[in-house]
Homo-oligomer: A and B are copies of this chain.
Amino acid sequence: MRPETSSAWRPAQPGDRMQDVDTPALILDLAKFEQNLARLMRAVQPYGVRVRPHAKSHKCIEIARRQMQAGAAGICVQKLSEAAVFLEGGITDVLITNEVVGARKLRRLAETALAHPGARLGVCADDIGVVRQLAEVCTQTGARVDVYVELDVGQNRCGLVGNKDVVDLARAVVASPRLNFMGLHAYAGSAQHRRGVPERRAAVEAASQRAHDARAALRAADLPCERITGGGTGTFLYEAASAVFNEVQPGSYVLMDSDYARNAVDPEAPRFEHALALLTTVMSLRSADGNERATLDAGLKSFSTDSGPALPTFSGWRPYAVSDEHTVLHKTGDGPAIRLGDKALLVPGHCDPTVALHDWIVVVRNGIVEDVWPVDARGALF
């Protein structure tokens, strides 16, 4: 059991003013969050596809519940231990968009499914040996699991390439009465952050063609293919419009980050707001030597730098150096005067691994804290 010491340190209470929130703390702007929720559902509505938002972006049961209330058909997660958290949180349809490998994990997958008889739990597969192991453990335990064959549609990370392999794997799934073969997982991950609209469209066209061909091969082999699922915040509209995909999986749309904001805007796609920011405090200041420097109380342990540092929401100050618990801003142009103790909001470069660093999301409307939500699946790496 972990001690409660760090978790007990809540950064805020409902009713606090935002400027009194302890820092560093994730701030969710509730109005923008609700806009993002609504805009996504409105954007895909004409295409009649299911929406299964990716909860790896937020790891928060309350956000998943609101996504379900907004019309989502279920959620995605990336890890089995994340699935357990959301199933325990009452989400009744969870897809692990990832392979689960190894005897210990496969047994745990079956046990997790068994523990939630009213819910659906799905998993991806790209290896026939693993599918046979999963079928065996499900037969032994009486568990029932949805299985999607993962297609590699350009990410070059997991998944199958050849249609014969797809058919063989689907057949192994169908052979087990404890496994439900659902269809294809075809996530074009590397397409999400291609900056230009034509490049993103072209990548999804190629992915759609691949999924279309794999489905044709399955049908030719008298196998079902009820669902083709994929798409992220950068491309979901193209999957939705493809007439091949019937489910989309955007995750970051609900929080947004600087990296997605660097994608060229498609005028046909909805605009998502930066609903998530990191509140920090100016903890050291120097201006005597002409170079104005403001040091914030948040660094590598409060935001992930894989897509660059978190960026100030105000102009004239830029990150100069980031260390474990500090970000040094330098004044580079016209911008606000900064005093010691001032609060500064930053937009993370990449929301998913940033949220994973925090225990809490402080939920704010009109500058007042409405609630503090736990990052329930924080640390759910397994």
Give residues in A with beta carbon < 8 Å to B: 1-9, 11, 20, 22-25, 56, 78-79, 81, 84-85, 88-89, 98-102, 104-105, 126-127, 129-130, 152, 156-159, 161-162, 189, 281-286, 288-289, 293, 295, 297-298, 300-302, 304-306, 321-326, 328, 340-341, 350, 352-353, 356-359, 374, 376-382
In the complex, what's the smallest C-beta–C-beta distance from A61 to chain B, in angstroms? 8
In the complex, what's the smallest C-beta–C-beta distance from A242 to chain B, in angstroms? 23
In the complex, what's the smallest C-beta–C-beta distance from A53 to chain B, in angstroms? 15
Number of copies of this protein chain within its complex: 2
Docked-complex contact A380 and B306, CB < 8 angstroms: no
Query: A interface, by DSSP: helix, strand, loop or mixed?
Result: loop
In the complex, what's the smallest C-beta–C-beta distance from A238 to chain B, in angstroms? 20
In the complex, what's the smallest C-beta–C-beta distance from A159 to chain B, in angstroms? 7
Not counting A9-B380, A101-B281, a sample of 12 additional A-B residue pairs whose C-beta atoms are within 8 angstroms of each other reads A5-B376, A5-B377, A9-B382, A24-B381, A25-B381, A101-B341, A157-B323, A157-B328, A304-B304, A305-B305, A306-B322, A324-B353
Q: Which residues of B contact A156 (CB under 8 A)?
A: 293, 321, 328
How far is A24 from B98 in the complex, measured between Cα atoms in Å? 14
Docked-complex contact B301 and A157, CB < 8 angstroms: no
Q: Which among A88, A359, A381 has the highest number of chain B CB atoms within 10 Å?
A: A381
How far is A189 from B78 in the complex, measured between Cα atoms in Å? 37
Given A98-B325, A378-B6: A305 in contact with B302 (beta carbons within 8 A): no
How far is A3 from B377 in the complex, measured between Cα atoms in Å? 9
Q: Which residues of B contact A89 (CB under 8 A)?
A: 3
Docked-complex contact B325 and A85, CB < 8 angstroms: no
Docked-complex contact A99 and B284, CB < 8 angstroms: yes
Across the interface, name the chain B residue whose C-beta is closest to A81: B9
Across the interface, name the chain B residue whose C-beta is closest to A127: B340
Docked-complex contact B22 and A283, CB < 8 angstroms: no
Given A158-B284, A284-B126, A381-B301: A356 in contact with B357 (beta carbons within 8 A): yes
Docked-complex contact B20 and A129, CB < 8 angstroms: no
Q: Which residues of B contact A380 (CB under 8 A)?
A: 5-6, 9
Q: Which residues of B contact A352 (CB under 8 A)?
A: 300-301, 324
How far is A78 from B101 in the complex, measured between Cα atoms in Å? 38
